[in-house]
Amino acid sequence: TACSSKYVLSQMHPMWQGPLAVPGGDRQSPIDIVVRKSVFDSQLKPLVTDYDPDTCQQIWNNGYSFLVEYDDTTDKSTLKGGPLRDKFRLCQFHFHWGESNAWGSEHTLDRRLFPAELHLVHWNSDKYSLFEEAVMEDNGLAVIGVFLKVGKRHEGLQKLVDALPAIRHKDSVVEFNRFNPACLLPANTDDYWTYHGSLTTPPLTESVSWIVMKQHIEVSHDQLAVFRSLLFTSAEEEVQKSMVNNFRVQQPLRGRTVRSSFT
Ligand SMILES: NS(=O)(=O)c1ccc(C(=O)NCc2cccc(O)c2)cc1
Ligand SMILES: [Zn+2]
């Protein structure tokens, strides 16, 4: 789908962490969420996700992460509610992780790092007709962030983990059907933080309503190890590099308020 083909055009080198000049740059992501400084907002509603597993199309390695892409030509897999006024269409989900369990997430909670973070990427289909349009607009995108912790095996994730060896190299793609990403959401999706931010990879566009779940999900050490068996490099390259540490460092808050849906 459009939302992901462009991803490969704008993906960056994983070691890139530099202060790439960004126009304005006062609402960059990720951030450290200082829990006691977040402001409860009683107007925030529960999230409403309605994902159709039949819209799942393929899984591929874009040289930065691995993406599971959804058919976003109709409103079949949607997100609404939460801090959002409009309906948003799921286009892909992907993860960020470390080379060790000690770090890997993009957002942090009171500076606490998690071994990995899931991002479910949606665009505003009430206002725009293409991901490419929405990504350039204020709040054109809504991304749900879910922290991963190492613990018991995640049965729903295993189907995805089993597909990874087939996409070890950059630009490899395999068909992937009937996966409902709702299985990757925590039991409690009512408690979250939300703030206005950006994409965490170039072009770092400041168009994202971030929704970071308070409750994490658990995956096993072995499942995370399979993430780390992926490669940044394509099959042709002589030197193979393990796909690890594909996260951006936390960015300045610049006076933004992080709201919470819970007290
Ligand atoms: N890590 S993240 O969730 O912030 C994230 C989500 C989506 C994308 C993405 O789709 N990039 C491709 C892109 C960006 C801007 C304009 C385009 O046409 C395509 C990048 C980062
Ligand atoms: Zn991401």
Separation of CA 94 and ligand 2 centre (Å): 6
Q: Is 137 a pocket residue for ligand 1 (Cβ < 6 Å)?
A: no
Closest by CA to 222, choosing from 66, 114, 105, 115, is 115
Report the nearest atom of ligand 1 relative to the CA of 205: 15
**3-state class (DSSP) for residue 164:** helix
CA of 104 to the centre of ligand 2 (A): 11
List the residue whose alpha carbon is closest to atom 12 of ligand 1: 7
Which ligand is located closest to the Cα atom of residue 12?
1
pTM of the model: 0.94
- Each of the 263 residues of the chain gets a pLDDT tens digit; together they read 556 554 443 444 444 455 554 656 899 999 999 999 999 999 999 999 999 999 999 999 999 999 999 999 999 999 999 999 999 999 999 999 999 999 999 999 999 999 999 999 999 999 999 999 999 999 899 999 999 999 999 999 999 999 999 999 999 999 999 999 999 999 999 999 999 999 999 999 999 999 999 999 999 999 999 999 999 999 999 999 999 999 999 999 999 999 999 99
Ligand 1 in reach of 122 Cβ (< 6 A): no
Give the residue, by CA position, lying nearest to ligand 1 atom 19. Answer: 6
Q: d(Cα 241, Cα 120) in Å, to the nearest integer?
A: 26
What does the block give as tokens for 234?
A: 């394509």
Going by CA atoms, what residue is nearest to atom 4 of ligand 1?
Answer: 199
Helix, coil or strand: residue 162: helix
**Token couple for 231:** 């490669």
The CA distance from 168 to 61, in Å, is: 7
Ligand nearest to the CA of 204: 1
135 lines ligand 1 (CB under 6 A): yes
Q: Which atom of ligand 1 is nearest to the CA of 201?
A: 21
Task: State which ligand 1 atom lies nearest to the alpha carbon of 248.
Answer: 1
ipTM of the complex: 0.98
User: What is the C-alpha to C-alpha distance for residues 147 and 143, in angstroms, rounded to an integer?
Assistant: 13
